[in-house]
Structure 1
Amino acid sequence: MNNIPWSYRLYRLTWSGLDLLFPPMCGGCGKAGWRWCPDCQTRVPRINKPFCEKCGIPILGNNLCEKCKSNPPAYQMMRSWAVFDSPLQKGLHTMKYRRNIGFGESIALQMMDFVCSLRWPVEILIPVPLGKKRLKERGYNQVGLVARPLAYQMGWRYAPDALWKTRETRSQVGLTVSQRRENVQNAYQADPKIVKRKSILIMDDVATTGSTILACTEALLSAGTQEVYVLTIARALSHHSLDHV
């Protein structure tokens, strides 16, 4: 708690005051008085074993999925906290598209036990960056709304400026696997002054094909990062259409 900057404590205090004046509505079900109500918290669909030891995708047996066996990703490990289904899916959409900014800290607090259980040797947490145009349109990086409080609670350095987009890309929503890979190829760059010889955790909201994560990993390793771990709030599984994630 002592690692939490005063600026962030003021941010939390401001939101607490706003909640008293304008009671929030649950991002998952719309219940008044909560940003993330207890009922929705208990209905989050979690990802349980067995899953691939590398990328974390559910599989029938233990060890590695076929994709990681044939073409291992450059990151150390990736894990997702939950499945991209309701009520979490709806909550993430309200945070991303309807400015439900306070939802991020509620999710971060619920993810704490899961993140602690990973026991990764993380030094710096970096949210997957938005392009300048998208950031200007939205006004915030929705991943950062969860990543920042999580980093402070874990005692990690939060460094959103350590990784950035070098060019604008199309939205990944609706693109095929190959289109997604091509869309983000060489689209990121990292600051060696921050990431060199460090253990980095990249965080994203939803894992789909993994194209964005791999592009970010490559940029970090090219800048001298020692090792990269990946955490996402949710993972889209085989029953999810790429037209919606």
Structure 2
Amino acid sequence: MTTRELAAALLDLVLPTSCGGCGLGGIGWCPECAARVDGPVTASVPGVGTVWAAGRYRGPLRTALLGYKERGRRDLAGPLAGVLAPLVPAGALLVPVPSRAAAARARGGDHVLRLCRELAPAEVWPLLAITRRARDSVGLDAAARAANLAGRIRVRSPVNPPRGVLLVDDVVTTGATLRACRAALVEVGIRVDGALVLCTALRRPRRLPGSLPTPPKYGLSQVRGREIREYDRIGVTRRSGLLPDRDAHYRAWHT
């Protein structure tokens, strides 16, 4: 374990736990936020096949993912894995989509690999790596993302899994990363049966049977008189959330 990873782990122990979706103290993922996840959903992505997602990239799930991925909330790995776990079939072999080495160092480790390891008893096969030539894909369109990853994802294990695998990522936006990962695996003879993601930013995913209904919209009469700190819990965006520089790192593709 590196010094950065050790420091992050110690920080997880010192800081009080709060809900990754609404900030409610004492729990990593509260029942209200769990009820607001509008999934599971599925979509057919060209060059990938079926992609199953725990929910859409919005609301408390989006907030929790950003906290886990970009803001040091390593303690959310377990709760987020719990959101994804119902989609993991028995006996699944999971291949995490890799992070760039620089990004993984900045985050204190590969966040998708950590998420997969919370999904026991599924087997995790960290087969893939991204070469140093690939750059951050945030803000790139589908064509640019594909060009950025072309030939830059490699299989780093000499041993193939005994059966088909499922790719796992945090969010699917254009499908370019999943396509590049699938192509690298298929090239060395590994069968890819689809992909699992926490969130989807794809348009019009199909809701799976038995999934939760979309949370109701709140009218002005229901919001008036509430304190600002309640807004996150009832799904109302604060005014600050509408500013152009709010979550600028993700705004280009994840709004």
TM-score by length of 1: 0.73
Residue aligning to 1:37: 30
In structure 2, distance between residues paired with 1:26 and 1:93: 13
The answer for unaligned runs of 5 or more in structure 1 is 1-14, 56-67
- Indicate whether 1:135 and 2:104 are aligned: yes
- Indicate whether 1:243 and 2:252 are aligned: yes
- CA 1:166–1:77: 2 relative to 1, 3 Å: same
Contact 2:87 2:196 in 1 (8 A): no
In structure 1, distance between residues paired with 2:111 and 2:201: 17
Q: 1:149 aligned to 92, 108, 118, which one?
A: 118
Contact 1:192 1:223 in 2 (8 A): no
Residue aligning to 1:202: 167
Residue aligning to 1:165: 130
- Structure 1 residue 35, shift from structure 2 partner: 1.0
Counterpart amino acid of residue 157 in structure 1: E
- Indicate whether 1:225 and 2:198 are aligned: no
The residue matched to 1:194 in structure 2 has which SS? coil
Counterpart amino acid of residue 100 in structure 1: R
The residue matched to 1:201 in structure 2 has which SS? strand
- Structure 1 residue 76, shift from structure 2 partner: 4.5
Q: 1:88 aligned to 23, 38, 61, which one?
A: 61
Which shows bigger deviation, 199-208 or 222-231?
222-231
Matched ranges for 1:112-131 at <5 A: 112-116=85-89, 122=92, 124-131=93-100
- Structure 1 residue 78, shift from structure 2 partner: 1.9
- Indicate whether 1:26 and 2:35 are aligned: no
Deviation above 3 Å: which 4+ runs of structure 1? none
In structure 1, distance between residues paired with 2:161 and 2:252: 37
- Structure 1 residue 135, shift from structure 2 partner: 1.6
In structure 2, distance between residues paired with 1:242 and 1:25: 25
The C-alpha deviation readout for 1:184-227, integer Å capped at 9, x for no partner, is 11111114533255311110000010000000001111122033
Contact 2:104 2:111 in 1 (8 A): no
| Greater C-alpha radius of gyration | 2
Residue aligning to 2:80: 107
Matched ranges for 1:178-189 at <5 A: 178-189=143-154
Q: Which has the higher contact order (CA 8 A, sep 6+)?
A: 2
The residue matched to 2:118 in structure 1 has which SS? helix
Aligned residue-pair number: 201
Superposed CA RMSD in Å reads 2.6
The answer for unaligned runs of 5 or more in structure 2 is 1-8, 205-249
- Structure 1 residue 170, shift from structure 2 partner: 2.1
The C-alpha deviation readout for 1:150-194, integer Å capped at 9, x for no partner, is 1x1xx332122x111123422221111211111111111114533
- Structure 1 residue 133, shift from structure 2 partner: 1.8
In structure 2, distance between residues paired with 1:147 and 1:196: 16
Residue aligning to 1:212: 177
- CA 1:26–1:164: 2 relative to 1, 3 Å: same
The residue matched to 2:59 in structure 1 has which SS? coil
